[in-house]
Each structure stands twice: as C-alpha cells, then as structure tokens.
C-alpha cells in the first residue's frame, strides 16, 4: 500500500500538540468469575457408608491402630461466581498432617488418585 505524506508549516504553538481532552475515569470491569466471593480453610472429609463423614483416612488397606499411617488434609476452599454456572466451589490442598490411627472404627483408605505423594 502507498504512504500518505502531509506537508505543512510547523508553528511554535503546534510543537506542544493539541490540548488534551478532559479526562474521564472509567471503572474497570473485571469479570465476576475471577473474583472469589469467599475463601476459607477446611478439613477434607471422606464419606463412608458405615461411619458417614470422617476427617482422616489411612494409607494402607491393613489397619494398625496407633501407627503413623493416618492422614488429615487441609484445603483452601473458595466459592467463585460464574455467570454461566452460578456458584463454583474449588478446593486447593494446603497441608497434610500425619496422625496416629485411632483405636476406634477404621477410617477409610485414602484415595490414591486424588492426592499428591503421601509422606
């Protein structure tokens, strides 16, 4: 394509440029899907038919009360408003605590696919 050149006389007043238009503040529109409405720290629960929700799980199928083979997971839970799906809840793991397995009822086995490598 060709280039258009405009030639003219430059005056001292033109060097500073035209006066700026009056400024106007426009609030930024951040999509609501990116703004978490609430976040909190929560203990991950494991649901069993026999015991209901349990706050710990065990590493091995064989159960040994008193051994350091039970785990409690701490998550950060956030609820985010999504215009299409409504409220979406997400969980991010924060910490894993190793606990002695209780003498009471056996906790469920930790699901291997959902967690990082256990200590």
- Fill in the DSSP letter of residue 37: E
Residue 23 exposed, middle or buried by CB count within 10 Å (0-12, 13-18, 19+):
exposed
Predicted structure pTM score: 0.60
Q: What is the pLDDT of residues 54-77, one digit of tens each?
A: 999 998 889 999 999 999 999 999
The confidence band for 112, taking pLDDT boundaries of 50, 70 and 90, is: confident
The pLDDT value recorded for residue 43 is 94
CA angle in degrees (0–180, nearest 5) for 75-76-81: 135
Instruction: Could you list the beta-strand ranges (E) of the chain.
Output: 36-43, 46-48, 52-54, 57-58, 70-82, 86-99
């Amino acid at each position: 394509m060709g280039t258009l050149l405009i030639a003219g006389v430059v005056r001292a007043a033109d060097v500073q440029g035209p006066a700026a238009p009056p400024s106007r503040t426009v609030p930024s529109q951040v999509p609501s899907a990116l703004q978490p409405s609430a976040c909190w720290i929560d203990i991950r629960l494991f649901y069993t038919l026999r015991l209901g929700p349990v706050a710990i799980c065990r590493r091995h199928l064989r159960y040994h009360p008193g051994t350091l083979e039970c785990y409690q997971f701490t998550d950060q839970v956030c609820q985010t408003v999504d215009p299409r799906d409504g409220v979406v809840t997400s969980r991010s793991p924060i910490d894993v605590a190793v606990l002695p397995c209780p003498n009471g009822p056996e906790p469920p086995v930790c699901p291997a696919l959902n967690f990082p490598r256990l200590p």
